[in-house]
Structure 1
Amino acid sequence: MLVHLQVMGIEAIHIETFLSLAQQHPVFDVRSPAEFELAHIPNAFSLPLFSNEERAIVGTHYKQINKQQAIKTALPFFAQKMVPMIETVEQILKTNKQPPTVLVHCWRGGMRSAGVAWLLSLYGFQVYTLQGGYKVYRQWVLQQFEKKYVLNIIGGYTGSGKTKMLQQLAQQNYPVIDLEEIAIHKGSAFGGLDTPVQPTHEMFENLLATQLYARATTYNSIIWLEDESQRIGNINIPIRFFEQMRLAPVYFFNIPFEERLNEIMHIYGNAPKEKIVNAIIRIKKRLGGLATKNAINFLLEDNIKESFAILLQYYDKAYTKGLYNRVNVEQIVIKIEAPTTNATNNSQLLQSLLKTSHHE
């Protein structure tokens, strides 16, 4: 297959080269819409050779009859898509003002990518395919979580403005990864209020691996993250990477309860009551029957602050348990007393601390 592709002027390339070229040229994923929706290479375009139904038919013929019959079945499906596929690629290249170079992949780097690559090459595009396809890409993704990184963690109780601090650091060109942004969830039972649907676990891994690789190769220095439990909504942080997070220094911002309560009010105070009640019920077993009842009653009486105060006390206890359930906690947790949740001020506090420690 590789020899045939090279004869046609199509080169099948290694994953590292493929991802490097993907920084400059569009990637076209020719798997079915269902495969793409489950997960894909970040920023790739869906250019399915077969619909979900067509893929099932071709696959059945391949398994139950033979390869030749599968190809005969596939060709009419392919034929009716040839012109639309070319026009789609042309439009994307025109929109992004790219030179006529495209990257194509399927699941294993087999017939689907070969067929589409042949068509696009015949039309005049410079085409590269991925050796081993998306399957090899997934192997690359999982390898990123096995690598060793130098991490620093922003810590603090719920409502401390940790995410805003990360954003401040990013604006100052510190290498930052916002796990909650990737997961589309703020972490607590209320983290999914009025947010889009979370990505699949596989897509989360793809996005995280891409950011880790970019930060490590571009900055070659410390990566800053927010302190998280392993689970963010319905997403689990890959265990190997999470273990590294648990061993990293934690810069814990100790901010007064009232300040944090005001921050929580600002973020969630206007959320629909029904959604807040449902979120409270989800943590009922851990919160306790009486606290759950009181939190809901305060909410229904429009005393939102008292309701949130009960919840914040619960999350403070849960966070304390997670914070101190670390190896060598006395050595890796650095407490910073901060009077407010002001992210700009706290970012300056952190940088002052870092400068001081470097001089010592």
Structure 2
Amino acid sequence: MIHRINIVDLLEPSFSVPLVDVRTPAEHSHGHIPGAFNIPLFSNEERVRVGTTYKQQSREKAILLGFDLTGSKWSGFIREALAISLDKKIALHCWRGGMRSGAMAWALDLYGFEVYLLEGGYKSYRRWCHSQFELDYNLRVIGGKTGSGKTRILQQMREMGHQMIDLEDLAQHQGSAFGSMNRLVQPSQEQFENNMAWQLKEVDRQTVLWVEDESINIGKRTIPRSFYNQMQLAPLIDLQVSTQQRVEALTIEYGLLEKPFLVAGTERIRKRLGPLRTKQALEAIVEDHMEEFIRIALGYYDKTYEKSLSKKNKDNIIPLTIDRQNLHEAVGLILDLELGRHL
């Protein structure tokens, strides 16, 4: 039996049927609903052929070509679906809920699956994503200069049961010229948004949601403008951490990275560092003087943070001195500040 469902039905917590994306591997890789399996009806190349036939010849000829291309694949599709859903219940989608998902639904229904077909397809999920960014959230922002331990504090808050969204984790980047840490690979902009909206759907919007202060761009990914605007207006706790503590922490974190990566990152900010500071930073990297390199880099990043802070509403900024080495105490001070000031 084939049931037609909408995006609201699909996202209901009680809906536990596995979801299959029948679009091509390239489409799925570029952007997909989190948790969706991929059983592509066509390969990347086959989809191009079918699309070209549709445009240049006719819908009927494209359908015939599609059946020619998939003729020997149907038993494989069914076996893949069985591996995903032993109880033979499955949800399907393609781009707009059209021919590809319809064809797969027909085959699986014929075999005896209970099929849930997403109306509007992946496109309906994208519309839903954008609607999540437009909602009002009860945001609190954790700010502070580079090396203040903002991410560690947010992670500790999550462990304690507080709501938080880790934007840098979603973007797979730490938001600087060295933010990839020579190992992180950023998702597409589309997938970044997909994953972010997926997390936001779990948020109780009446309860405080903690995020880290970020520029609108994290590496090559961009925070959705409507959500970013809310971050800019939200109360910001500006963590005050000694330069020495920040240098020590960053020296440990970045000291393990390969020199060519650090050199390349330094070259990317050459214009902003200036020729002399760039030369000094590069020499410090080559000579293994990591603490000196960190101090030079912080000179630039601290100025950048101060400039960003100067553009915000001063009434929304609450400075808080913390000991970076005492994580639990720092979190306690932040939560006490939140409760005491009714931010």
What TM-score do you get using the length of structure 2 for normalisation? 0.96
Change (3 A) 1:118 1:220: farther
Give me the CA root mean square deviation.
Answer: 1.6
Task: Say if 2:23 and 2:95, in contact at 8 Å, map to a contact too.
Answer: yes
**1:229 has 2:221 as partner:** no
- Structure 2 CA distance for aligned equivalents of residues 312 and 23 of structure 1: 48
Task: Say if 1:109 and 1:131, in contact at 8 Å, map to a contact too.
Answer: yes
Task: Say if 2:137 and 2:206, in contact at 8 Å, map to a contact too.
Answer: no
Q: More deviation in 169-178 or 331-340?
A: 331-340
- Structure 2 CA distance for aligned equivalents of residues 24 and 197 of structure 1: 30
- Structure 1 CA distance for aligned equivalents of residues 273 and 17 of structure 2: 50
Aligned length: 343
Give SS of 2:201's match: helix
Where do 5+ consecutive residues of structure 1 fail to align? 1-8
Task: Say if 1:27 and 1:103, in contact at 8 Å, map to a contact too.
Answer: yes
- Structure 1 CA distance for aligned equivalents of residues 108 and 286 of structure 2: 61
**4+ residue runs over 3 A deviation:** none
Counterpart residue type for residue 265 of structure 1: T
- Structure 1 CA distance for aligned equivalents of residues 248 and 102 of structure 2: 58
Where do 5+ consecutive residues of structure 2 fail to align? none
Deviation at 1:121, TM superposition (A): 1.5
1:13 corresponds to: 5
2:307 corresponds to: 321
Change (3 A) 1:33 1:322: same
Among 117, 121, 133, the residue aligned to 1:133? 121
Among 116, 133, 141, the residue aligned to 1:153? 141
1:265 corresponds to: 251
Deviation at 1:109, TM superposition (A): 0.6
2:35 corresponds to: 43
Task: Say if 2:323 and 2:330, in contact at 8 Å, map to a contact too.
Answer: no
**1:55 has 2:47 as partner:** yes
Q: More deviation in 41-50 or 10-19?
A: 10-19
Change (3 A) 1:246 1:128: same
Task: Say if 1:62 and 1:69, in contact at 8 Å, map to a contact too.
Answer: yes
Percent of residue pairs identical: 43
Give SS of 2:239's match: strand
Counterpart residue type for residue 303 of structure 1: H
2:189 corresponds to: 201
1:4 corresponds to: none
Counterpart residue type for residue 320 of structure 2: I
- Structure 1 CA distance for aligned equivalents of residues 267 and 325 of structure 2: 28
Task: Say if 1:161 and 1:342, in contact at 8 Å, map to a contact too.
Answer: no
Deviation at 1:23, TM superposition (A): 5.4
- Structure 1 CA distance for aligned equivalents of residues 35 and 231 of structure 2: 27
Give SS of 1:138's match: helix
What TM-score do you get using the length of structure 1 for normalisation? 0.92
- Structure 2 CA distance for aligned equivalents of residues 147 and 287 of structure 1: 39
Counterpart residue type for residue 122 of structure 1: L
